[in-house]
Amino acid sequence: MAATLGLSTAVSVPARLSHVASASNGISGTAASVAFPSAKRAGHAGSQVAEGRGKCRCSTAEILHDGARDPLLLRVARGEDAERTPVWLMRQAGRYMKDFRKFSDKYPFRMRSETAEIAIELTLQPWKAFGTDGVIMFSDILTILPALGVEFDMVKGKGPVIADPIRTKADLLDMKPLEDPDAKLPFIREILTSLRREIAGSEATLLGFVGTPWTLAAYAIEGQGNKNLMATKHMMLHEPELLHGVLQALEDALVVYVCHQISCGRTSCSCLTRGRTTSRPRSLRSSACRTRSASCSV
């Protein structure tokens, strides 16, 4: 099978929707690309449906077609053999591009990722420059958090900082469900629908991405990027029910968010995770189950 560059070697994993679990490139962590197949299947007359544990429901029009006509990256993401290795550039790793730095030197990260016009421009830069097989939305795994009532800021030289981390049951109860993504994250639809139009007629695949429940929980509990995850480990060992509550809240929100991205026009999604090696195997296995459940149930 061909590999997917940008996330290193791709390995086919069966799920409710075909997806590719990929090894880390050392920048963004391990990822799983979930491809929404477009081939018409027997017994489905009209549209395909993705449901996330009953939390949301979204569909895409089915198209009668020869599967070989699908874009290269999408075919590989479905686990099909391909004529060559597809390539895409993780936008945040393209800081060397002069055009990218013009924006990063002038605007803070959240303004760039949450202002549709800027995010669209930054997303398209590597595709226009290199003709990549994938076009990945310029965003961040933490973009969803403010919609849940967890504010964060990107501090230069330090990364994401959450002023009020989740440490208690009261903090958990203060989290809000993601009931209306268009109201809470209005820029996402504008970004993805515009990108869909921009690449229409090309061989490129539009990629969205989210963080896994475990990754977002680690950031939300620690309050910043932390390799040791001491606060998260403490909660895992001494307040497991609280940690499970945080993971469940994030899982529910992420399922809605992934379905929202599908409805906005993205074809494949990367699920990014990090910090897995900092926990004991048995403790991690329980948490990882939620990660896989959220990424594979849509």
- pLDDT tens-place string over residues 124-138: 998 999 999 999 999
The yes-or-no verdict on residue 287 having pLDDT over 90 is no
Whether residue 118 is contained in a domain is answered as yes
Residue 293, Cβ density class (10 Å: 0-12 exposed, 13-18 middle, ≥19 buried): middle
User: Does a structural domain hold residue 176?
Assistant: yes
Residue 87, judged by CB atoms within 10 A of its CB (0-12, 13-18, 19+), counts as middle
Across-strand partners of 159?
155
Assessment of whether the complete model's pTM goes beyond 0.85: no
Whole domain around residue 128: which residue ranges?
90-296
17 found inside a domain: no
Q: Is 231 or 9 the better-scoring residue by pLDDT?
A: 231
Q: Give the neighbor-by-neighbor strand order of the sheet with 30-35.
A: 10-13, 19-22, 30-35, 268-273, 205-211, 134-136
Please, what sign has the CA dihedral across residues 259, 79, 71, 63? Answer: negative
More reliable by pLDDT, 56 or 16: 56
User: Residue 73 half-sphere exposure, CB side, CA atoms within 13 Å?
Assistant: 28
Average pLDDT over residues 21-41: 34
Instruction: Provide the percentage of residues in the chain whose pLDDT is more than 90.
Output: 48
Q: Tokens 């003709």, residue?
A: 131
pLDDT tens by residue, 59-113:
444 433 445 578 899 888 888 888 999 988 875 555 778 888 899 889 999 999 9
The rounded percent of the chain whose pLDDT value lies above 70 is 64
Confidence of residue 56 (pLDDT cuts 50, 70, 90): very low
Q: Is residue 94 part of a domain?
A: yes
- The count of domains in the chain is 1
Estimate the crossing angle of helix 186-199 against helix 116-130, to 10 degrees: 30
pLDDT tens-digit profile of 240-272?
999 999 999 999 999 999 999 998 986 666 666
Question: Can you give the CATH number for the domain in which 280 is found?
Answer: 3.20.20.210
Of how many residues is the chain composed? 298
Please check whether residue 215 lies inside any domain of the structure: yes
What pLDDT score was predicted for residue 204? 93
